[in-house]
Amino acid sequence: MASAAEQLAANLNFSAFAKADELKKRIWFTLGALLVYRLGTYVPLPGIDPTIWSQLFKSQAGGILGMFNMFSGGGINRMAIFALNIMPYISASIILQLLTSVSPQLEALKKEGESGRKVINQYTRYLTVLLAAFQAYGIAVGLEGASNVVSDPGLFFRLSTTVTLVGGTMFLMWLGEQITSRGIGNGISLIIMAGIVAELPSAIANTLELGRQGALSTFLILAIIVMVVAIIALIVFVERAQRRLLIQYPKRQVGNKMFEGQSSHLPLKLNTSGVIPPIFASSLLLLPTTIASFNAGKGPEWFQAITTQLAHGRPLFLVLYLGMIVFFCFFYTAIVFNPTETADNLKKHGGFIPGIRPGERTAEYIDYVLSRITVIGAIYLAVVCLIPEILISYASVPFYLGGTSLLIVVSVTMDTVAQVQGYLLAHQYEGLIRKSKLRGRR
């Protein structure tokens, strides 16, 4: 007889989706919210000339502005009200995560459970407002410094721009939370993915146009397609890969009943740090280049020489990019995963790894395993990000076909599909329970 899980998997088809009314409502809500976000990326800031800014942006697109424009779905290229996108919130979340590991007060809040998480989330929102206000004011000053972009520069323009951009970021933060609670998938991740996916058709069209004009050979375009498919397959494989540590629980007696010992697994992902390392590495490396391009050749000669060597595809850029990816892989993994805390939790619940003494030795063993699989994760991220980076530099491949964008799109898609399958399985399971109850009554 097939197991219940096999029956659910067999029944998981389009007919099940058609009957899952709650799931369809969630999907429609998610699509509607993402449509609102996309419309906002086409509403320009008041007081600027979009045509002049678009021409100026093209000259700066190879720097950090190009990367932020990718995450904002073209919002910076159009200097829209959602130009900051959700990035200040992500930065605030990462900063709070880092502070939690070094601040005893925040660490105590984290251990309080749901109430502590609510307080930390509130701190994250406050920090988001501060970061967004700082970045928005910097954008306003930068726009005033650009020639003929702002029609009426002054205090009122700076104030209106700051308020508009901060309001746009806070609205997207709220929209992402609504998608998470009332839609399907992680709202913040879906907003970022929607921005990247929306710009992919133009990147593909530009690539084919370069092939038509002879700038890219047919062989190179086919090689790019094969590379993209191979990278997607690699991302799917590694993001699903886990190193499972066997956990044993001894026999226990509750009243007059004796319960047999149980076993479970402690899953350790190969890529615990996710997409954070390439984003951090790209931001730090592209910042000097962006500053130099805005200064238009001004500044010390040594600074100009360094920024020249930090251009896309240069050996110094690739070496530093590789080194920073590896560093942030280990650094962020150490922040988000605490082997000592995990070992203590196992010890409290009577769990142990066979052959390893509970407590400190278990923490050392988990750290030993985690360090070695993080090496594999760092190599994986380096391959995914460096190969497209080389093609972008030497073959004029559009920026949106970079490894970071593919990594975000594939990872978020996998998480969303997993949630959809979870809802369908739950719906099917409830249907089987109802059928079994009806049969019992008969």
5 in a structural domain: no
pLDDT at 129: 93
Contact 158, 144 (CB under 8 A): yes
By the 10 Å C-beta count (0-12 exposed, 13-18 middle, 19+ buried), 6 is classed as: exposed
Residues 168, 253, single domain; the answer is: no
Residues 347, 285, single domain; the answer is: yes
| Amino acid, res. 137 | Y
* Structural domain containing residue 291: 217-442
Residues 442, 331, single domain; the answer is: yes
Residues 114, 224, single domain; the answer is: no
228 in a structural domain: yes
Whether 195 shows a pLDDT value over 60: the answer reads: yes
Whether 288 shows a pLDDT value over 70: the answer reads: no
Question: In the Cβ-directed half-sphere of 204, how many Cα atoms lie within 13 Å?
Answer: 9
In this prediction, residues 335-340 reach a mean pLDDT of 84
pLDDT at 295: 56
381 in a structural domain: yes
32 in a structural domain: yes
Residue with tokens 């962006």: 290
**Higher-confidence position of 436 and 297:** 436
In this prediction, residues 268-289 reach a mean pLDDT of 79
pLDDT band at residue 30 using 50, 70 and 90 as cut-offs: very high
Whether 62 shows a pLDDT value over 60: the answer reads: no
In this prediction, residues 192-213 reach a mean pLDDT of 81
Domain termination site, one of 124, 158, 182: 182
Domain termination site, one of 182, 206, 240: 182
Whether 410 shows a pLDDT value over 80: the answer reads: yes
pLDDT at 12: 47
Contact 133, 162 (CB under 8 A): yes
Residues 254, 155, single domain; the answer is: no
Pair of tokens at residue 412: 């978020």
Residues 231, 176, single domain; the answer is: no
Q: pTM of the entire structure? A: 0.79
212 in a structural domain: no
Average pLDDT over all residues of the chain: 80
CATH number at residue 408: 1.10.3370.10
Name residue 248's beta-bridge partners: 263, 352
What is the tally of structural domains in the chain? Answer: 2
Q: Is the dihedral of CA 419, 424, 425, 426 positive or negative?
A: positive
Helices (H), 183-275: 187-213, 218-240
pLDDT at 255: 61
195 in a structural domain: no
Q: How many whole angstroms separate alpha carbon 329 and alpha carbon 379?
A: 10
Residues 237, 174, single domain; the answer is: no
